[in-house]
Amino acid sequence: MKFGGTSVADLDRIENAARRVAREAEAGNEVAVVVSAMAGVTNQLVSYVDQTSRIYDAREYDAVVSSGEQVTAGLMALRLQEMGISARSWQGWQIPIRTNEVHGKARIEEIPADNLDDRLSQGEVAIVAGFQGISPRNRIATLGRGGSDTTAVALAAALNADRCDIYTDVDGVYTTDPRIVPRARKIEKISHEEMLEMASLGAKVLQTRCVELAMNHGVRLQVLSSFEDLPGTLVVDEDEIVEQQVVSGIAYSRDEAKITLIRVADKPGIAAAIFGPLSDAAVNVDMIVQSVSPDGERTDMTFTVTKTDLDRAVETLKAHADEIEYDQLLADANVVKVSVIGVGMRSHTGVAQTMFQTLSDKGINIQVISTSEIKISTLISEDYTELAIRALHTAYGLDAE
């Protein structure tokens, strides 16, 4: 069971979460709990560091910001003890959760879970501080913001858990953002692969890295609310899903910007000349389209980068204008990427056509298209975000009755 920051935001909420833990333990389950810092605490700690040291020692940053989870873990253990449940807190190093040395953004390398496992089988509930581990040099290392989800999934894998329940402030994964489409439905079951696409294409319920980890280790996830007693969304292996929808969900990302290079030379090495310097400048490139060149000499190249990378990308391309040889550089931040996702696409035809026709019926121009086996993404003007998502949601039969 993993409880995020809003689910443990104050003592009452910690008590509420502890009651859920107690219920599982009393039902005869062995329970390991991963907790986040109380809502707002990590931000506060980060700001203390920023105010103390402008270019800080990342190991000390980790020493400071990892402390929020330690507080919650201790409080949760105390609360459970008050309820008559045997429980103790565990910090990352006590298990140990071994990470690499990339402080502030460490990856978990291994979790020898024998100690923890022994205690669990003795009926003791484990409350594990999320977001932290220990580096090869015995320093506390944090996993990057939002990293407690990753702790939970990694621990579930190490313990061979039946399930990893992620308790949060929403009650599941929806077919699309309910703020845009009020008739969006809660998804009962979704495959890891689809969830991974949803997460990386803009749905913010779960971190991409945590879903990836769950997929690689076959961890069954459930996303559910800590405030309501409702079943959430199960994220499971594709084989477990009997009634597969063709399209499971629609995701969108406003964090895209489009760059077009007009009339670049059409010769070997030109893509490398464009994307090499961008990669050196740590610009993340997403969709790429190169058109055919009518004269065999010159062609246009369009691609997208994240909005925050746009200025750096444009500067980089200008600095390398001599090697790339282009006539003109156009940049447009007023775009959104809308994607439809579903493993059913592998076996059904016409899924892309439905998307194109629907957008065309609304008079929306598609600027860039990219596809994978289980998703189709289109880049359109940001002004049409809501219109496009609503129309697609209806077209794929996803609207709630």
**What is the biggest distance separating any 2 CA atoms in the chain, rounded to whole angstroms?**
80
Q: Cβ 9 to ligand ASP, closest distance in Å? A: 11
Q: Which is nearer to Mg ion, 4 or 342 (CB)?
A: 4
> Could you tell me where the DSSP H helices lie in 53-132?
58-65, 67-82, 114-121
Q: Which is nearer to ligand ASP, 2 or 119 (CB)?
A: 2
Going by C-alpha positions, the residue among 66, 23, 12, 22 that lies closest to residue 41 is: 66
Q: Cβ 145 to ligand ASP, closest distance in Å? A: 4
3-state secondary structure of 235: strand
Q: Cβ 196 to ligand ASP, closest distance in Å? A: 18
Considering CB distances under 5 to 8 angstroms, the limit depending on partner class, which of Mg ion, ligand ASP, none binds residue 37? Answer: ligand ASP
Stretch of residues binding ligand ASP (CB under 6 A), selected from 34-42, 101-109, 133-141, 284-292: 34-42
The amino acid that residue 364 corresponds to is: I
Q: Which is nearer to Mg ion, 3 or 252 (CB)?
A: 3
Contact pick of 61, 93, 131, 252 for ligand ASP (by CB under 6 A): 131
- Cis peptide, bond prior to residue 112, ω within 30 of zero: no
Q: Cβ 226 to Mg ion, closest distance in Å? A: 13
Q: Cβ 149 to Mg ion, closest distance in Å? A: 8
User: What letter does residue 6 receive in the DSSP assignment?
Assistant: G
Element housing 152 (H / E):
helix 148-159
Stretch of residues binding ligand ASP (CB under 6 A), selected from 139-147, 302-310, 328-336, 348-356: 139-147
DSSP secondary structure, 344-396, as one string: GGGT-SSHHHHHHHHHHHTTPPP-EEEEETTEEEEEEEGGGHHHHHHHHHHHT
The amino acid that residue 25 corresponds to is: A
| 5 near ligand ASP (CB under 6 A) | yes
CA 11/CA 5 separation, integer angstroms: 12
Contact pick of 7, 36, 191, 245 for ligand ASP (by CB under 6 A): 36
Q: Which is nearer to Mg ion, 36 or 253 (CB)?
A: 36
As given in the structure block, the two tokens for residue 349 are: 């035809």
Stretch of residues binding ligand ASP (CB under 6 A), selected from 48-56, 80-88, 142-150, 263-271: 142-150
Sign of CA dihedral 119, 121, 122, 128: positive
Site for ligand ASP in 145-164 (CB under 6 A): 145-149
Going by C-alpha positions, the residue among 195, 176, 197 that lies closest to residue 185 is: 176
Contact 392, 170 (CB under 8 A): no
Stretch of residues binding ligand ASP (CB under 6 A), selected from 36-44, 231-239, 344-352, 358-366: 36-44
Site for ligand ASP in 285-314 (CB under 6 A): none
Q: Which is nearer to ligand ASP, 37 or 215 (CB)?
A: 37
Stretch of residues binding ligand ASP (CB under 6 A), selected from 88-96, 140-148, 265-273, 276-284: 140-148
As beta bridge partners, residue 2 has: 34, 166
Site for ligand ASP in 61-100 (CB under 6 A): 68
Q: Cβ 76 to ligand ASP, closest distance in Å? A: 14
Considering CB distances under 5 to 8 angstroms, the limit depending on partner class, which of Mg ion, ligand ASP, none binds residue 68? Answer: ligand ASP
- By CB under 6 A, the count of residues binding ligand ASP is 13
Sheet holding 189-191, edge to edge: 87-90, 125-129, 32-35, 2-3, 164-168, 221-225, 233-236, 189-191
3-state secondary structure of 9: coil
Beta strand pairing status for 328-341 and 285-290? unpaired
Considering CB distances under 5 to 8 angstroms, the limit depending on partner class, which of ligand ASP, Mg ion, none binds residue 147? Answer: ligand ASP
User: What letter does residue 186 receive in the DSSP assignment?
Assistant: B
Considering CB distances under 5 to 8 angstroms, the limit depending on partner class, which of ligand ASP, Mg ion, none binds residue 249? Answer: none
- For 38, 62, 155, 176, the CA distances from 236, given in Å and listed in that order, are 29, 33, 17, 19
Return residues touching Mg ion (CB under 5 A). 4-5, 36
Q: Which is nearer to ligand ASP, 37 or 388 (CB)?
A: 37
| Interacting residue ranges for ligand ASP, rule: CB under 6 A | 4-5, 36-37, 42, 68, 130-131, 145-149
